């Protein structure tokens, strides 16, 4: 048999082909898989939607209070119609939609927005309180979120306030509610965690969790502290006693909303009476779904003409929220 001699050029071609085939068989290096950011499901934080889906049984053993019966009276014999929305300014750069219906109103003051639902011109059955992020968010984000929790319910921050009572009250008094909160008292062990996170349709990032508890009058301050505070505010008289407010079952949805770049945003607290269920859970879920970054011209127009004064709405709601001039000064 005659052997065939391969030329150097042919050998180089064969080796090159073999190297190419071997390289093609090697597994390619893959980049880490990036999971898509979740979509925010605006109905998810509200237990009423879970009840309707059958995932949580409704408690029929407890009878509704007179206050709850008054709220229910809004729709007796009348089929509810789909409400038209109206824009409300939030913080420095955002708006959201609330129903353009009787009982819903809003006002704002120096970065704070208060929205209430009081169908019979009395005690609110639902309340939304929003504050713009302070500059502390970028340097001390945990302290900033804790500050808002103290604003809503000082009891939420008890485990984090492990220092002297003087310093503790000093921090509480620097909140917009001056240590009184919004009247909500969370029940221990009911917090869901920050389990609802995602982008809404406007690419705003929302993060929130839920507490169960009771909604009553804002927390009173200790008498010595209340008297000292009254003197500082130029009122030397003893603070007038608060009117009695019957506690009602309620829940609190607490969270934040940020723009796509997470440069600006707001804290929010949604309170709703739950006896046996929140009557405006759908409206509140649509509020969260509608939060968006808005143009300056729209924000300027809305801020110039709130339907009621902030001071009157705060008073009608039985709250104590410091005016912006005092808070920032």
Write out pLDDT tens, residues 175-201. 899 889 999 999 999 999 999 999 999
- The residue among 85, 84, 94, 83 whose CA lies nearest residue 303 is 94
Cβ neighbours for 187, distance < 8 A, ≥ 6 positions apart = 211, 212, 213, 214
Which tops the pLDDT comparison, 173 or 88?
A: 88
pLDDT at 59: 39
Q: Is the pLDDT of residue 96 over 90?
A: yes
Write out pLDDT tens, residues 252-292. 999 999 998 888 899 999 999 998 899 999 999 999 999 99
Element housing 301 (H / E): helix 296-303
Write out pLDDT tens, residues 112-131. 999 999 987 678 999 999 99
CA–CA gap between residue 288 and residue 98 (Å, rounded): 10
pLDDT at 141: 87
CA–CA gap between residue 284 and residue 259 (Å, rounded): 20
**Other residues' Cβ atoms within 10 Å of the Cβ of residue 176:** 24
Q: Is the pLDDT of residue 164 over 90?
A: no
Q: Is the pLDDT of residue 168 over 90?
A: no
Instruction: State the average pLDDT for the chain.
Output: 80
Q: Judging by beta carbons within 10 Å of its beta carbon (0-12, 13-18, 19+), is residue 251 exposed, middle or buried?
A: buried
Structure token digits, residue 134: 């302070």
Write out pLDDT tens, residues 34-45. 667 899 999 999
pLDDT at 31: 59
**Other residues' Cβ atoms within 10 Å of the Cβ of residue 18:** 10
Supply the pTM of this predicted model.
Answer: 0.79
Give the model's confidence band at 202: pLDDT under 50 very low, under 70 low, under 90 confident, else very high: very high
Element housing 49 (H / E): helix 47-52
């Amino acid at each position: 048999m005659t052997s065939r001699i391969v030329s150097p050029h042919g050998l180089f071609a064969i080796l090159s082909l073999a190297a190419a085939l071997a390289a093609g068989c090697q597994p390619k290096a893959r980049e880490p898989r990036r999971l898509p950011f979740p979509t925010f499901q605006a109905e998810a934080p509200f237990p009423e939607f879970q009840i309707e889906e059958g995932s949580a049984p409704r408690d029929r053993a407890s009878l509704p209070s007179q206050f709850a019966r008054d709220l229910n009276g809004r729709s007796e014999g009348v089929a509810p119609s789909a409400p038209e929305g109206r824009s409300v300014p939030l913080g420095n750069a955002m708006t959201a939609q609330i129903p353009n219906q009787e009982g819903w109103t809003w006002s704002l003051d120096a970065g704070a927005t208060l929205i209430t639902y009081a169908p019979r011109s009395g005690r609110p059955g639902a309340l939304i309180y929003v504050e713009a992020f302070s500059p502390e968010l970028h340097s001390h984000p945990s302290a900033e979120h804790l500050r808002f929790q103290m604003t809503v319910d000082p009891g939420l921050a008890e485990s984090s306030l492990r220092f002297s009572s003087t310093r503790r009250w000093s921090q509480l008094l620097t909140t917009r509610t001056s240590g009184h909160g919004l009247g909500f008292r969370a029940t221990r062990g009911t917090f869901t965690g920050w389990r609802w996170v995602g982008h809404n349709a406007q690419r705003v990032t929302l993060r929130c969790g839920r507490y169960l508890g009771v909604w009553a009058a804002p927390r009173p301050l200790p008498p010595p502290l209340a008297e000292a505070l009254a003197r500082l505010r130029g009122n030397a008289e003893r603070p007038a006693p608060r009117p009695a407010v019957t506690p009602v079952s309620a829940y609190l949805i607490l969270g934040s909303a940020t723009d796509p770049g997470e440069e600006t945003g707001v804290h929010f607290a949604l309170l709703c009476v739950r006896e046996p269920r929140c009557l405006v859970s759908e409206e509140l879920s649509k509020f969260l779904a509608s939060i968006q970054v808005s143009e300056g011209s729209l924000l300027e127009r809305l801020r110039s003409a709130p339907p009621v004064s902030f001071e009157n709405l705060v008073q009608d709601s039985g709250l104590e929220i410091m005016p912006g001039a005092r808070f920032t000064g």
